[in-house]
Chain A
Amino acid sequence: MAIWLPRLAVDRWRQVEGCRRGEGTDTAPTALISETAHGQMIEAVNDAGLAMGARPGMTVADARTLYPWLRVTPSDPAGDRAFLERLAVWAQRWGPQAALDAPDGLLIDVSAVAHLFGGEAALLADVEARFAAREVTARAAIAPTAGAAWALGHHGPGGAILAPGEDIEARLAQLPVAALRLDPDVQLVLRRLGLKRLSDLTGINREALKRRFRNRSPQANPLLRLDQLLGRVSEPLLPVVVVAPALVQRRLLEPIRHRELLDQVVTDLAADMAHELERRGEGARRLELGLWRVDDDVAIRSLELAAATREPAHIARLFAAKLDDVDAGFGIELVRMRATWAEPLAIVQADLDGKAEEPGTTLATCIDRLTVRLGAAAVRRPVPYASHIPERAQRWQAPLAPEPASQEELAFHFRPLKLLEKPEKIAVLYASPDGYPRQFRWRGGLHEVVRVEGPERIAPEWWREKGNTRLRDYYRIEDTTGRRYWIYRAGLANDGRGGAPDWFLQGLCG
């Protein structure tokens, strides 16, 4: 949701004067002015002044010539900004995150919020009623993207709602290009090109526009702004209130130089951190331990946890494994623990069925301990990946991360139990170059092929690989001792991509 406060300066001036709209001081035509290089300029005018004919952007001298009884007051941009910030915090009543849209707007994330107010229309009505009660002129609009909401708020009909299913492009086609939040000089360029409406921009070839507007900053690039408006690229909101991470620290009277004392301090900190996290109803996923030394040196140790936790003993134990190489120097005087990433973790009742008393650790604890000692790259889970090439069809990810959505594996073809890290070259005897292998030598051993099935031909993925990559013919073979292997021939005899094809052993079957 975007809220535009078009008369912000005047509304605030009226509040400072302590009068209602059209009463007291507001009855006299008044202009808020600022000093510029071209003399005093009018920034904003109240209703009486507007009715008389004064407009923002006139110089005071011009206005005075026409309307000698115009009153002027200096404007206060800093005060306006502070007022806008207060409004942004107040506007969080409508959504969890509110961001400033300087100088005179607010952006509020209202995803999945509207039902609390009885629908989006009711939400907008509430916004209007609340701003009217504060005597602040406001225009609000709701749209799936911040850019679209801004465009509707500034240039669309009042109280516009763009439902998620609607076509943003069609709905906003008739808005002027100013709705793209562009710098004035870029707007001027667009006007000179004859591009006045959004439909003009979308109607012409994108490549042509790309050549003219190469600027990377969104304010100067109408294409980027258009993408933000249509939701093709993301546009982060900088929230007005940032949630501070949980932080506990111990200042030490006497700098510590010994490991046992440090372990004790870390244990205490872990207990403090557990209290702090419990108060917030959170569990830590990433923790950072900072050790400030007397001689102004800092050692930072960070820890990532497989699942949100606030178990002090577990945290202390994991950090203890990371403190072995800390050089205490002349002593450590300040130890601080910070939860840089926390996830909600409800307070649960102690287990009544005695599962907690069962010996053994939970999976998350086990993985944390393994990760701390062996590194995150050593503890992983295989997940499928969309590729024909066998070694590419499997990727590795963190063990407790959700599995990516994928097509169920097709059971048409045989796959081996294990793949060698790298296919190993074998010397093969065959009856004909494109026929079955008869005998091969691998790791110094001679294997006589008794049974064979194949080939399963796997073509190179031309969209990933170079043009001269050779195809692979996979054979599943069994030798005289019963060992089963998965071997392939890279290429064909006369495919024009190199000499005689090589053979490789890639997989071990059960």
Chain B
Amino acid sequence: MDLSVLSTASELSSLGARSPRWRPGLLCAAHSEMFACGDEGGGIAAALALALDGLRERLGQRSVLWVQDAASLKLNGRPYRPGLPTELRRRIIHVAAPKPEDALFALEEGLRCRDLACVIGEISGNPKALDFTASRRLTLTAERHGVPLFLVRHDAKRDLSSARMRWQVRSTASPPPRWNAEAPGPAAWHAELFRARTHAPGEWILRDDGHVLAADRPAAQARTPDHGDLAAAAGGRSLAAS
């Protein structure tokens, strides 16, 4: 499907106050969390797309640190270079941490490094080591050094965290590709922002065509009352997290 017919993220943001509140500049929050099912690649793919959306022009020669703990490595597999976005193929430095504690250490060391464009993390479940203190530590380090962190939480409950943006992500039906209508099309994800500090929550369908991250309101939501408005009426308090 040709993504140019869709409104891009920046166009959506300028549509008016009642339209989906989407400002891509804010997406590069210092610390984002994506909750996703460990049996699909949607969580990590959306994390990479969001990271690239904010960083594509500013990547320079910098590398990207990708940290996985052993459980998520087993559950969700290893990054596969030929399938990665082209901009990232040469930049990935992969860390396979045996324990969640080691993964947190690696994440923090990565955030301290000024030569990294961003840090991608994958942690499976709700390990004891990743409590509120640990997440606060990560947030503060990321904000101090200006290296954004995208942490994918596989099969995790929505625990306490100080992440600036928290998403629930799942794969969704892809738009039909141009040539073969029977084939799966370009990737699409259903992303629900359920907690954010500077942004009202909402739901979007995200699609990455390799240049821009296009956002669209979910079709089902057009028929039901707009949750975004409810959230705004609730004074920015997230409904989904409660």
B44 touches A417 (CB 8 A): yes
CB B225 to nearest CB in A, in angstroms, measures 24
Tell me if B115 and A418 are in contact (CB < 8 A): no
- Check B96 for interface membership: any CB of A closer than 8 A: yes
Rounded to whole angstroms, the CA-CA distance of A481 and B172 in the bound complex is 6
Contacts of B44 on A, CB cut-off 8 Å? 417-418, 510
Contact status B41-A361, CB under 8 Å: no
State whether A381 touches B45 (Cβ < 8 A): no
Q: Are A421 and B77 in contact (CB under 8 A)?
A: yes
- A-B pairs under 8 A by CB, number: 175
Residues of B contacting A363 in the complex (Cβ-Cβ under 8 angstroms): 63, 113, 115-116
What per-residue 1/0 map shows which CB atoms of B11-25 lie under 8 Å from chain A? Answer: 000000000000000
Instruction: Kindly supply a per-residue 1/0 record for chain B positions 126-147, scoring 1 wherever the CB is within 8 Å of any chain A CB and 0 otherwise.
Output: 0000000000000000001101
Q: Are B63 and A419 in contact (CB under 8 A)?
A: no
Least CB separation from B144: chain A residue = A359
A236 to B15 CA separation, bound complex (whole angstroms): 72
CB–CB A417/B41 < 8 A: yes
Q: Residue B39 contacts which of A366, A483, A510 (CB distance < 8 angstroms)? A: A483
Number of interface residues of B (CB under 8 A): 58
User: Restricting to B117-170, which residues have a CB under 8 Å from any CB of A?
Assistant: 144-145, 147, 170
For residue B76, which residues in chain A have a CB less than 8 angstroms away from its CB? 418, 508
Say if the beta carbon of A263 comes within 8 Å of chain B: no
In the complex the two chains form, what is the Cα distance from A394 to B41 in whole Å?
19
A400–B97 alpha-carbon span in the complex (Å): 19
Q: How far is the CB of B144 from chain A (nearest CB, A)?
A: 6
Contacts of B41 in A (CB 8 A): 416-418, 483-484, 507-510
Separation in Å of the A374 CB from the closest CB of chain B? 6
Known: A378-B97, A417-B45. A366 touches B77 (CB 8 A): no
- Residues in A whose Cβ lies below 8 Å from that of B97: 374, 378
Contact between chains at B184 and A484 (CB < 8 Å): yes
Bits for A1-33, please: 1 = Cβ < 8 Å to B, else 0.
000000000000000000000000000000000
Complex interface bits, B65-109 against A, C-beta within 8 A gives 1, otherwise 0: 100000001101111111110000010111111100010011001
Is A365 an interface residue when CB atoms closer than 8 A count as contact? yes
> Are B42 and A510 neighbours in the complex by a CB distance under 8 Å?
yes
Instruction: Name the B residues within 8 Å of A510 (CB-CB).
Output: 41-42, 44-46, 48-49, 171, 187, 189, 208
**Is A119 an interface position by the 8 A CB rule?**
no
Contact yes or no, B145 A384, CB < 8 A: no
Q: Once bound together, how far apart are the Cα atoms of A482 and B39, in whole Å?
A: 12
Alpha-carbon separation in the docked complex, A442 to B38 (Å): 13
Query: B143 to nearest A CB, angstroms?
Result: 11
A496 cross-chain contacts in B, Cβ below 8 A: none
Q: Is the CB of B184 within 8 A of A358?
A: no
| Complex Cα gap A59–B68 (Å) | 79
At the interface, yes or no: A252 with Cβ under 8 Å from chain B? Answer: no
In the complex, the answer to whether B187 meets A394 with C-beta atoms within 8 Å is no
Contacts of A419 in B (CB 8 A): 77-78, 80
Q: A369-B109, A477-B184 are in contact. Are A358 and B90 (CB under 8 A)?
A: no
- Indicate if the CB atoms of A484 and B115 lie closer than 8 Å: no
Question: Which of A359, A414, A452 is within 8 Å of B114, CB to CB?
Answer: A359
Query: Are A421's CB and B82's CB within 8 A?
Result: no
CA distance A403 to B189 in the complex (A): 33
Chain A residues whose C-beta falls within 8 Å of the C-beta of B95 in the assembled complex: 370, 374, 378-379
A86 touches B (CB below 8 Å): no
Chain B CB within 8 A of A380 CB: yes
Tell me if A416 and B80 are in contact (CB < 8 A). yes
A482 with B83: in contact, given A359-B145, A509-B187 (CB under 8 Å)? no
Taking CB as reference atom, which chain B residue is nearest A363?
B115
Contact of A362 among B94, B114, B144, B184 (CB under 8 A): B114
Inter-chain contact B96/A384, CB cutoff 8 Å: no
**A380 → chain B, closest Cβ, in Å?**
6
Q: How many angstroms from the CA of A418 to the CA of B76 in the assembled complex? A: 8
Q: Does A260 contact B (CB under 8 A)?
A: no
**Is B57 in contact with chain A by the CB < 8 A criterion?**
no
State which residues 38-64 of B face A: CB under 8 Å: 39-42, 44-46, 48-49, 63
Minimum CB–CB distance from A398 to chain B (whole Å) comes to 10
Docked pose: A498 CA to B144 CA in angstroms: 60
Assess whether B173 is interfacial by the CB under 8 Å rule: yes
Does A399 count as interface, using CB distance less than 8 angstroms? yes
Interface assignment of B112: CB less than 8 Å from any CB of chain A: yes
Mark each residue of chain A from 391 to 408: 1 if its CB lies under 8 Å from any CB of chain B, else 0.
001101001000100000
Query: Can you name 26 A-B residue pairings with CB atoms under 8 Å?
Result: A361-B109, A362-B114, A366-B65, A366-B109, A370-B95, A370-B109, A373-B102, A378-B95, A378-B96, A381-B93, A382-B79, A382-B94, A399-B93, A415-B80, A417-B48, A421-B77, A443-B39, A452-B183, A482-B42, A482-B174, A482-B190, A483-B40, A483-B42, A484-B40, A507-B83, A510-B44
15 extra A-B contacts, CB within 8 A, seeds A366-B112, A369-B109, A415-B80: A373-B102, A373-B105, A379-B94, A380-B94, A384-B82, A417-B45, A417-B79, A418-B80, A419-B77, A420-B78, A445-B39, A453-B184, A482-B170, A509-B45, A510-B48
Among all A-B residue pairs, the 4 with the closest Cβ atoms: A510-B45, A508-B41, A360-B114, A453-B183
